[in-house]
Amino acid sequence: MYKKRQIGKIVWLFLILLSYVNADAEICKKGSTYFLTHFLKVKNPEKFNMQWAECELKLGNEDAAISAYERVLIYYPNNLEAVTALARLYSKNHMNFESEKLKQSLDNSRLTPQQRQVVSKLLDNEKTLISTRLSATLNYGYDDNLNFGIYVPQFGKKLNNIESSFNSFSFNGNHINELDEVGGFSLQGNWNFYVQNNKNAHYYDVLYGSVDAGVGYGTSTMLLYLPLVYRHMETLDTYLYEQYGIAPRLTLVLGKSLLMNVDLKYLRKRYIDNFRKDGDDTLSNLAVGLYQFYGKNYIYAQAKYNHFNADSITPVPFVNYNYFQFFAGASYELEGIAILDVNYQYGKGHYQDHINNISNIERSDDFNQINVSVQRELINKLTIITSYNYTNNNSNYQTASYSKQILTIGVQYNY
């Protein structure tokens, strides 16, 4: 108790002296006094040191601000506001060794790729950034409804559910090459590959691949990425379709560990399958999402609007429609045990064609999906992941109603 009183006196006198140095000092003094009291009562070092760092910056004491921000990261390594502020200060003061250490700490953090890109931009003002990230996942799972949404066209009859165990492999990569001679610009690319082999139903095996590549432009608080996109899908024993177009993305750091994403897409789909080729369509998409970080944990929400416009509605029905999606979820680290992720998706589809030639009722779908996964690091860069996924689609067009469950367990290697 005596030490607490002494610390309180020293901090109080320090802030009083500072209040005569700068016009913002009075606000600084009040704020720090409040957080000092709050810290002594509830032991919240993150808020206390963030407030302390902000006060030091207002007073022009960059060395002291750096120390305070570093104390924040001791307790909460993924505090995006502290990381961003430190990155600016390190770069401004040419603290290359500290910048490199901070960058290395991000390699094993749970920041999103977009956040890493924004922060890396701050850390690498004086040199070219070349970064490659790779991830491979091997899964074993069970699906109780592989043929969801599949029906016999001649009779409009829904098929019986087909269930099977399966194994799958996915590979994902991201590459950034910052063009140092052209300030703020970079060349970027992402690629994804997925293959699924079903034990009892090879007709529904899946081979999927996608790649995007383009130009990025970043500052200390934003990243704009303008890529071209290509996608390829094989299933139902056929090369089903290919898709290509553009998909710009804007990522903004709003402060207080808040990240915002704005995505646009315009994609053209070309079916190879003879029955579906008249249903070639274009997808126009707009999505807005927010990510709020709390130390190592985060919550997010995203709203997405999709418009599908097909070349023809015959012989394939229900290809012109609008689809709204809402996503929400959270990621929470059980310290020293595992990481728990919970994700929910709701979808609402409105179709432009009627259910049959007689009825004037338009098809309408309500989609709900929940996914729960638990991951634990076995050794450095190698993680074991288990997940459960439940999906239910209710539709006034009965052949489109279905529910399904998928359970998987696998290992992931990150490089």
CATH number at residue 178: 2.40.160.40
Please tell me whether residues 140 and 167 are part of one structural domain.
yes
pLDDT in tens, 249-282: 998 888 767 888 899 999 999 988 776 777 788 9
Please tell me whether residues 136 and 118 are part of one structural domain.
no
Would the pTM of this model clear 0.75, i.e. be above it?
Answer: no
Using 50, 70 and 90 to split pLDDT, how confident is the model at 140? very high
Name the burial class of residue 337, with classes exposed (0-12), middle (13-18) and buried (19+) by CB atoms within 10 angstroms of its CB. Answer: exposed
The rounded distance, in Å, linking the Cα atoms of 261 and 252 is 6
Using 50, 70 and 90 to split pLDDT, how confident is the model at 121? low
What is the rounded radius of gyration, in angstroms, for the C-alpha atoms of the chain? 26
The rounded distance, in Å, linking the Cα atoms of 49 and 388 is 39
* Weakest-pLDDT range from 16-20, 31-35, 90-94: 16-20
Q: Would you give the end-to-end CA distance of the chain in angstroms?
A: 48
pLDDT in tens, 403-414: 999 999 999 998
**At a CB cut-off of 8 Å and minimum separation 6, what does 202 contact?**
none
| Residue 380, pLDDT score | 80
Q: Report the pLDDT averaged over residues 31-52.
A: 62
Please tell me whether residues 180 and 325 are part of one structural domain.
yes
Higher pLDDT, 125 or 177: 177
CATH number (domain holding residue 119): 1.25.40
Higher pLDDT, 23 or 194: 194
- What one-letter code names the amino acid at 297? N
Listed ranges 123-127, 313-317, 356-360, 379-383; the one with the highest mean pLDDT = 379-383
Higher pLDDT, 204 or 15: 204
Q: What is the dihedral of CA 42, 48, 50, 54, to 10 degrees?
A: 150
pLDDT in tens, 197-242: 999 899 899 999 999 999 988 777 788 999 999 999 998 888 888 9
Range(s) of the domain holding residue 10: 2-123
Please tell me whether residues 109 and 145 are part of one structural domain.
no
| Mean pLDDT of the chain, nearest integer | 79
Higher pLDDT, 392 or 8: 392
The rounded distance, in Å, linking the Cα atoms of 307 and 310 is 10
Please tell me whether residues 217 and 358 are part of one structural domain.
yes
Please tell me whether residues 184 and 114 are part of one structural domain.
no
- What is the domain count for the chain? 2
Percent of the chain with pLDDT over 90: 34
Please tell me whether residues 348 and 220 are part of one structural domain.
yes
Q: Which of 123, 141, 171 is the last residue of a domain?
A: 123
**At a CB cut-off of 8 Å and minimum separation 6, what does 301 contact?**
289, 290, 326, 327, 328
Q: What is the largest CA-CA distance in the chain?
A: 86
Name the burial class of residue 74, with classes exposed (0-12), middle (13-18) and buried (19+) by CB atoms within 10 angstroms of its CB. Answer: exposed
Burial of 352-382, coded b for 16+ CB within 10 Å and e otherwise, reads eeebeeeeeeebbbebebebebbbeeeeeee
Residue 208 backbone phi and psi in degrees, to 5: -135, 140
pLDDT in tens, 285-337: 999 999 887 767 888 999 999 999 887 766 667 788 999 999 999 998 887 78
Listed ranges 71-75, 181-185, 232-236; the one with the highest mean pLDDT = 232-236
**At a CB cut-off of 8 Å and minimum separation 6, what does 415 contact?**
133, 134, 135, 381
Listed ranges 79-88, 123-132, 163-172; the one with the highest mean pLDDT = 163-172
| Residue 7, pLDDT score | 47
Higher pLDDT, 284 or 353: 284
